[in-house]
Homo-oligomer: A and B are copies of this chain.
Amino acid sequence: MASSLAATDRILVLPEPLPLDSGQVLPGVEIAFETYGALAADRGNAILVFHALTGDQHLASPHPITGKPGWWDRMVGPGKPIDTDRFHVICANIIGGCMGSTGPASLDPEGRAYAMRFPVITVRDMVRAQVALLDALGIERLHAVVGGSMGGMLALSLAANFPERAARVLAIATAARHSAQNIAFHEVGRQAIMADPDWRGGDYYAASGSGGKGPEKGLAVARMAAHITYLSEAGLTEKFGRRLQDRAAKSFGFDADFQIESYLRYQGLSFTDRFDANSYLYITRAMDYFDLAEEHGGRLADAFAGCAARFCVISFDTDWLYPTAESRAIVHALNAVAAPVSFVELSAPYGHDSFLLEVPALDRVVQGFLA
């Protein structure tokens, strides 16, 4: 699925094998990325944006499969908060992903899809791959690194592990580690995928030609469960409540009587058109493994001790996936090492997804921080 679209992306093949936290080494890593806006002669105006779990490099240009606008189209562009008239904005598909960068659907050196033979990667591995991309592009120091949700984890990881590479770090709706509840929801999704007989232990790629399309039902269930966590209870009540879907009365059956059921089913099904189930397994695993404090001797502040960047941390009051308390923990750690940090909890009704949606206050904070 992903590889057929790779031609529309810029692809960089990393010149060196990529060392991984697991101890393994990944050879021939390809990174698919997009850029927006011109790179200044001094290469000092680059902003790297990290995408979230199910995002990709199509930040501000239409998605090649869905045809929808880029996932942060409202934030990135000429005159927008991340202003492509001023900045050279880079967004790369993470390794482990399925939109052109090397992941479980990619071919291994023997020429067959990695599937579950792909090494388990970490958030730091994803960052390491993109730092190698920056090296290849000749960008030594970013004007800023920016990310929401998992993208925020990558931004924090870059700050901690490559402290010289970014002058500004903007982490939105994120956390410095995955909580038990976060892991729990991901585990439900993984089990849903692995319970689907079409998963075939991950080796469903070969079967695609014979009509099989991979564990679509399991992946849809995983997406449905995750999607609930992206929205606030109040937002769901406002948007759907108990309203029925195209009917005047309950059916006394198991159709999607309620709008929320219809909506979730659609979210699940449409997701399978653009996402690879094995990538979902690997990326959720990387997120669950993420614990920036643990990586740095158990004390989060130590993760940031060597970093000279300015930080901006943003949370949303209705985000129950990565609630404000998680952002506060990051801010306290930054305070402990006297790092310059501004922090704001924004009020928005959309839950975790607020970082992707129409929240004018977010635009102002982002624009101000990058200025």
Interface residue ranges, A against B (CB under 8 Å) = 21-22, 116, 119-120, 177-181, 183-185, 187-188, 190-192, 194-197, 217-218, 220-221, 224-225, 228, 231, 233, 236-237, 239-242, 250, 252-254, 256, 258, 260-261, 264-265, 268, 281, 285, 288-289, 291, 294, 320, 323
Contacts and interface: CB of A to CB of B under 8 A. Distances in A.
3 tightest A-B CB contacts, nearest first: A195-B217, A180-B236, A22-B252
B285 A187 contact: no
Contacts of A190: 254
A92 B95 CA distance: 54
Contacts of A225: 188, 225
Question: What number of copies of this chain does the assembly contain?
Answer: 2
A220 B191 contact: yes
A168 B258 CA distance: 34
A194 B218 CA distance: 10
A113 to B, nearest CB: 17
Contacts of A260: 180, 183-184, 187
A211 to B, nearest CB: 15
A260 B185 CA distance: 10
B180 A242 contact: yes
A264 B188 contact: yes
25 contacts: A179-B236, A179-B237, A179-B242, A180-B237, A180-B239, A180-B242, A183-B242, A183-B260, A184-B224, A184-B228, A185-B228, A187-B261, A187-B264, A188-B225, A191-B217, A191-B221, A192-B221, A195-B196, A195-B217, A195-B218, A195-B221, A233-B323, A250-B289, A254-B285, A320-B320
